[in-house]
Amino acid sequence: MSKVYLILQDNDDSRYLVEAIEADNPEVTTIHQPALIRLEAEGRLVINRETVEDKLGRDWDVQELHLNLISLGGNVDEDEDRLELSWAV
């Protein structure tokens, strides 16, 4: 299975996003590079609105992710509750 990935700006918002992603995707690998955080996983990675809201302690719209997102790899499926990245093979 190929790796999907997500890259976030290294800032305060992203710390909570990373926590949420790590909580929902135990297999994820988190890599820190200057000014960015890269998260990668085999085949699939998901960000759930509810988990992010728990971490942030406020309402969070999935589209807010785009404020801190630098890049991604994988097929994207986005709705109001989650954003999922996946490769079928």
> Is residue 76 at the binding interface for other proteins, with CB under 8 A as the rule?
yes
Contacts of 39 (CB under 8 A, 6+ apart): 5, 6, 7, 8, 18, 21, 25, 28, 29, 30, 31, 45
Stretch binding other proteins (CB under 8 A), from 18-26, 50-58, 72-80: 72-80
- What mask of x and - would describe binding to other proteins in positions 3 to 22, judged by CB under 8 A? xxx-x-x-------------
Q: How far is the CB of 80 from other proteins (least distance, A)?
A: 5
Nearest to other proteins of 20, 65 (CB atom): 65
Contact 7, 36 (CB under 8 A): yes
Is the dihedral angle over the CA atoms 58, 64, 70, 74 positive or is it negative? positive
Please report how the helices 12-24 and 49-56 are oriented relative to each other, as an axis angle in degrees rounded to 10: 130
Q: Please, which residue, 23 or 70, has the CB nearer to other proteins?
A: 70
Please give the residue ranges that form the binding site for other proteins (CB under 8 A): 2-5, 7, 9, 33-36, 63-64, 66-76, 78-80, 87-89
